Amino acid sequence: MNILKINRLNIGTLTLGSILMAVSPSWAGDIVLSVEEPVVNSTYSGVANLRGWVVSSAGISRVELYVDSALTTHIPVGGRRTDVGNAYPNYPDSSNAGFSMAFNYSSLTAGPHSLRIRAIDRENASREQSVNFTVARFNPSYIADPAKISLAGATGSFDSRSIYLKSLTADGQAYDVRLDWRTEAQGFVITQINPAGSVPDDGFDGTYRSRVSLTSNSCAFAVSSEAESELKLTQNGSQMSGMESGQLSVAGTVDGLGNFALTSARLVQSPTANCRGESYFGYQGNFPSQTIAITTNYEYFGSCQYRNCAASFQGSITKTAGADDSSSVASRLTATIPAKPLLELARPWP
């Protein structure tokens, strides 16, 4: 025989009654749980936060942490969260709903992992949330002596989203490192660590779409302020090759951090017998941070009215399909994006 339980909920001065099965000791939705860090599908390294908040109409008893399915510890709960208190004023102690702890992500192996946070209230009802994330780490997992970290001999660069350090030394081994801004941390954090000069994984094959805006133009003629590109690329170790918009060959390199440099073949036009114009594209960027800079170079030979010049663009690059996808991304997007196809910019005559 099923056992019934009567629960009552007070909302202001209104009292509501309901009948619930005893197998569900708390109302569905009674517990509200939010995991704020780690961020889903993000990369973590070293010691960083593990945090969120939880409320229950019955009050929270404990918050459990499971890493890769194993119960690891209980997370301290009771941190001040006035924002949660304002959003859930009818839940007990909702202004102290925060839970957090420092967690050494580098104690895990490099690569993908998952954690599960389970909140249990005082009526033994529970709610849980799982998060998949990736660990990037040095070897060993914890470096206690700051003198074992050195930037001597390292080089650095950056784009509009990321900072790159090459040949950083940690505990005697050289690494290439990428840092990205993380809103939740309000700072730049390590998101990629590779042995220095390592050959990149074969994960950059595919079709990429770029939308770029003009940043400079040294030519005597005007060029479009917006352009779009479609690169279909194949990777072989650190070498890349492919086609721009299915018509112009490109080739170049990619490193372990996803930094790429490509150059297109040349397009040649001769409007007169005494003048020849050539143009080609240079591409530089980073696949993981989805940034790209494209330069259209114009060169003139013979008796031409123009001098050598270049137009530079910057924008985003997004992987849209695998390398074997024969559909044209650019053709599907041109109708909705008012930008000139990149190949149209290659003509050395206005």
Mark 35-72 as b/e (b = at least 16 C-beta within 10 Å): bebbeeebbbbbebebbbbbbbbbebeebbbbbeeeee
Per-residue exposure over 177-204, b if at least 16 CB sit within 10 Å of its own CB, e if not? bbbbebeeeeeebbbbbbebeeebeeeb
Strand 187-195 relative to strand 291-302: parallel, antiparallel, unpaired? unpaired
Q: Can you give the pLDDT at residue 50?
A: 96
Cα separation, 63 vs 58, in Å, equals: 14
Token couple for 203: 């994960």
The HSE-up count of residue 221 (CA atoms within 13 Å, CB side) is 13
What are the residue ranges spanned by the domains of the chain?
A: 4-10+18-135, 146-195, 206-346
Q: Is the pTM of this model over 0.85?
A: no
**Cβ 110 vs Cβ 137: under 8 Å:** yes
Q: Which of 203, 192, 68 is nearest to 138 (CA)?
A: 192
Separation between Cα atoms, residue 61 and residue 119, nearest integer Å: 8
- The radius of gyration computed from the CA coordinates of the chain, to the nearest angstrom, equals 28
pLDDT recorded at residue 349 = 63
- As a residue count, the chain comes to 350
- The answer to whether the bond into 288 is cis (omega within 30° of 0) is no
Q: How do beta strands 155-158 and 98-104 pair?
A: unpaired
Of the options 1.10.8, 1.20.1260, 2.40.128, 1.10.10, the CATH number for the domain spanning 206-346: 2.40.128
pLDDT in tens, the chain (350 residues): 333 333 434 333 333 333 333 333 434 458 999 999 999 999 999 999 999 999 999 999 999 999 999 999 999 999 999 999 999 999 999 999 999 999 999 999 999 999 999 999 999 999 999 999 999 999 988 899 999 999 999 999 888 889 999 999 999 999 999 999 999 889 999 999 999 988 777 789 999 999 999 999 999 888 889 999 999 999 998 999 999 999 999 999 998 888 999 999 998 887 777 888 899 999 999 998 899 999 999 998 988 888 899 999 999 999 987 644 444 444 444 434 456 788 887 776 65
The pLDDT value recorded for residue 28 is 42
pLDDT at 311 (0 to 100): 94
Instruction: Check if the beta carbon of residue 295 is closer than 8 Å to that of residue 285.
Output: no
Name the pairing type of β-strands 60-67 and 206-217: unpaired
Do the beta carbons of residue 285 and residue 291 sit within 8 Å? yes
Q: For residue 2, what are the CA distances in angstroms to 48, 108, 123, 125, 237? A: 47, 45, 19, 18, 64
Rounded distance between C-alpha atoms, residue 304 and residue 340, angstroms: 26
Domains 4-10+18-135 and 206-346 share a fold: no
What is the token pair recorded at 10? 């007070």
Can you tell me the distance from the alpha carbon of 22 to that of 6, in angstroms, rounded to the nearest whole number? 9
CATH topology of domain 4-10+18-135: Immunoglobulin-like (2.60.40)
| β-strand partners of 317 | 210
Q: Which residue has the tokens 């790209």?
A: 292
- The residues facing 318 across adjacent strands are 209
Least Cα distance to 191 among 168, 166, 162 occurs for 162
